[in-house]
Amino acid sequence: MDMITNIKNNFKRGTIYIQLIYINVAVFLFTSLLSIFFRLFNRSFDPILGWFELPASVERFIHQPWSLITYMFMHANIFHVLFNMLWLYWFGSIFMNIFSSKHLRGIYILGGICGGLLYILSYNIFPYFANVVHLSVMVGASASILAIVAAAAYREPNYPIRLLFFGAIPLKYLAIVVVLSDLLLMTSGNAGGHIAHIGGALAGVGFAAGLNKGLDITAWINGTLDWFSSLFSKKQRADRKRAKMKVSKTSRDKDYDYNANKKAQSDEIDRILDKLKRSGYNSLTAEEKKSLFDASKK
């Protein structure tokens, strides 16, 4: 329980990119454990998983439009999630030195959306993908992370990045190399991933360029997320208010019961004292004598 509490506290205290890392890792562990559980019963978890992966087929996508969001929090294997989260950690911290946490939240979602849409568009336009479009699906946070990298590189192109064996190089060169490699690998085995990277990078550049002109293209995303967050906050406030009212009501009920019992006891003692005056002590019953004795001790 202490470990779970520590994880919750670290999540709440963490920056937005740390929270995104927690979410991605949690989703990966959850889906992996479910997959193992299904396999133990000789069942496949893939059909269920498929509802949250982004399909290249427009027909399939129409039946699961939410996958344009869910796919960017899912990963194929442990190395996939490991390398993506390392990139998110490194470049998320750089991004936060240049932009705000809300901007990072917004560009993560926008980059994933743009990368996913370019992936679907490319697979349905170019004849090269015609034979695989109905079978192809995509998962991963790469497009979102490339949006973060590209935005930071556009705003601060000479930001120094230290690389093993290469030393310090400007961020713009790293971004250019990554985007060029994606362009050169658009017909490789992971074509969909490389196309999505380009879409994410374009979203990042568009965001940074727009912000230079006073236009925040992530505002609608953050507005939507804030609206959903406010719904839960209102529910939590309402729950707390109901709990407070319940406690208050319970307290009043207890006070009422206590006062009623106290008055009844007082009336009973008055009755016994009147009887004592009229008829003497010997006229009292054993129970009345005990009540009078108990009252004298208070």
Task: Report the alpha-carbon distance of residue 152 to residue 148 in Å, rounded.
Answer: 6
The series of mean pLDDT values per 10 residues for the chain, 298 residues long, is 80 92 97 96 95 97 97 96 97 95 96 98 96 96 97 96 87 95 93 96 97 95 92 69 60 61 72 70 70 64
Q: How many CB atoms lie within 10 A of CB 217?
A: 16
> In terms of DSSP bridges, do strands 167-170 and 160-163 run parallel, antiparallel, or are they unpaired?
antiparallel
Residue 190, CB-side half-sphere exposure with 13 Å CA sphere:
12
Query: Which residue, among 220, 22, 9, has the nearest Cα to 102 in the 3D structure?
Result: 220
Q: What token pair was written down for 237?
A: 């406030």
SS3 65: coil
Contact 131, 184 (CB under 8 A): no
* Global confidence as pTM: 0.77
Residue 73: per-residue pLDDT: 97
The pLDDT value given to residue 249: 53
Which sign does the torsion angle of CA 108, 111, 113, 115 carry?
negative
In which element (H, E) is residue 264 found?
Answer: helix 219-279
Confidence at residue 211, expressed as pLDDT on a 0 to 100 scale: 95
